[in-house]
Amino acid sequence: MLNQSARAAATGAAALLPLLLTGCLVEGSGSAVSRGTLSGDILGSGATFPDPLFQQWMSYYNTSIETGTSIDYQAIGSGEGIEQFLAQEVDFGSSERYLQASELLVAREVRGCEAVQFPVVFGAVVIALNDPALDGLILDSEVIAGIYDRRVTRYDDPAIAELNPDLDLPGREIVPVHRSDGSGTTYVFTSYLANEVGFWAEEYAGGTDIDWHDDTVGGDGNDGVAQAVGASPGGLGYVNQSYALRNGLATARVVNEDGTPIEPTLAATTAASEEAEIPDDFQFSIDDIGGDGYPITGANWVLAYECGYNNDTADVLRDFWAWALTDAEADRFASDLGYAPMGRGLKERVLTEIQRINSS
């Protein structure tokens, strides 16, 4: 543990890291005044949850910040992304869950050094609906679990009607859509249900891969779930908020820990993220959210290594993620797509962690 003076020094140094890394001075608009020249081709893979944001960040960085770089990201799902990261097939991974102890051990054995993992953004997992007339439908954890366990099969079920006394509910069958691939979005969604609903914890638990009820529909990636919801009368599925926005899907309000139905807005996602207690190892969940917070909120972690990169690759990895966390334009991209950028204090802690990349 750092003492108070040492921690203050580390925090101050972290605030200067984006400047020290590449000699860059960045205006409030995010445009570079002067900057060093980096070069290198970087490949990452993993979660579809942050993919819209990652693609915007990487395109802007490659074309406007460091034009000698090429950063590519393949959205293949958190599960497969972790597998490729541990198999050393990519330069970095991405997931909506942090690496477990067994995976950290594998990383150490295959690479010969520690893995580095840090959060970069928060986002809401929304309940997307096929029917625009149902936008703002109120659901709680018991009803959502019941829908996916097929205990609740119609929109006019008494449990839904009780939550929505002023809404004329259709007598239509609900078609629940889930992720068919190993998914961090599934991890956030099912961990929320396991934390809130007793029978879900016993029968399904939380994880990236779930043994779903036979009468549910699978979709590949957030895009696949959004498309299946949009194509299925009565469709209902869980996706990252940006995918619901991009596909023009209605979304439900979800009752949080204080009994308040919360719309999945950027402000509600930010409110939930601010309730999270984040330890020094950045291994955390966002549970029991009340107040103005949206209750199904998750973080995205980036995975890298303390060793094994050539200097060009390591420089680009450190600089890109430092830029993504400190540049005003990067934050604007996140907000426009419905993601919640991290607060200043957490960013400073993460910037220090980023410096562990290739430090051994």
Whether residue 146 is found in the same domain as residue 226: yes
Q: Is 48 left (phi over 0), alpha (psi -120 to 50) or beta?
A: alpha
pLDDT above 60: residue 259:
yes
Whether residue 250 is found in the same domain as residue 137: yes
Whether residue 218 is found in the same domain as residue 169: yes
Whether residue 135 is found in the same domain as residue 249: yes
Whether residue 98 is found in the same domain as residue 184: no
Count of structural domains, the chain: 2
Whether residue 111 is found in the same domain as residue 135: no
| CATH value at residue 348 | 3.40.190.10
pLDDT 10s digits, 180-232: 998 999 999 999 999 999 999 999 999 999 999 999 999 999 999 999 999 99
Whether residue 46 is found in the same domain as residue 112: yes
Whether residue 36 is found in the same domain as residue 117: yes
Report whether 127 contacts 236 (CB < 8 A).
yes
Helices (H), the chain: 4-22, 51-60, 78-86, 101-111, 141-148, 158-163, 184-196, 198-203, 221-231, 241-246, 266-275, 311-326, 328-336, 344-354
Whether residue 32 is found in the same domain as residue 107: yes
What average pLDDT does range 297-323 have in this prediction?
97
Task: Provide the domain limits for residue 19.
Answer: 4-121+299-354
Residue 281 lies in a domain: no
Whether residue 175 is found in the same domain as residue 315: no
Residue 359 lies in a domain: no
Handedness of CA 333, 339, 345, 349 (dihedral sign): negative
Whether residue 261 is found in the same domain as residue 183: yes
**Residue given tokens 């919640």 in the structure block:** 340
pTM score of the predicted model: 0.86
How far apart (Å, rounded) are the C-alpha atoms in residues 195 and 20? 43
Whether residue 111 is found in the same domain as residue 138: no
Helices (H), 112-263: 141-148, 158-163, 184-196, 198-203, 221-231, 241-246
pLDDT 10s digits, 260-304: 999 999 999 999 999 889 999 999 999 999 999 999 999 999 999
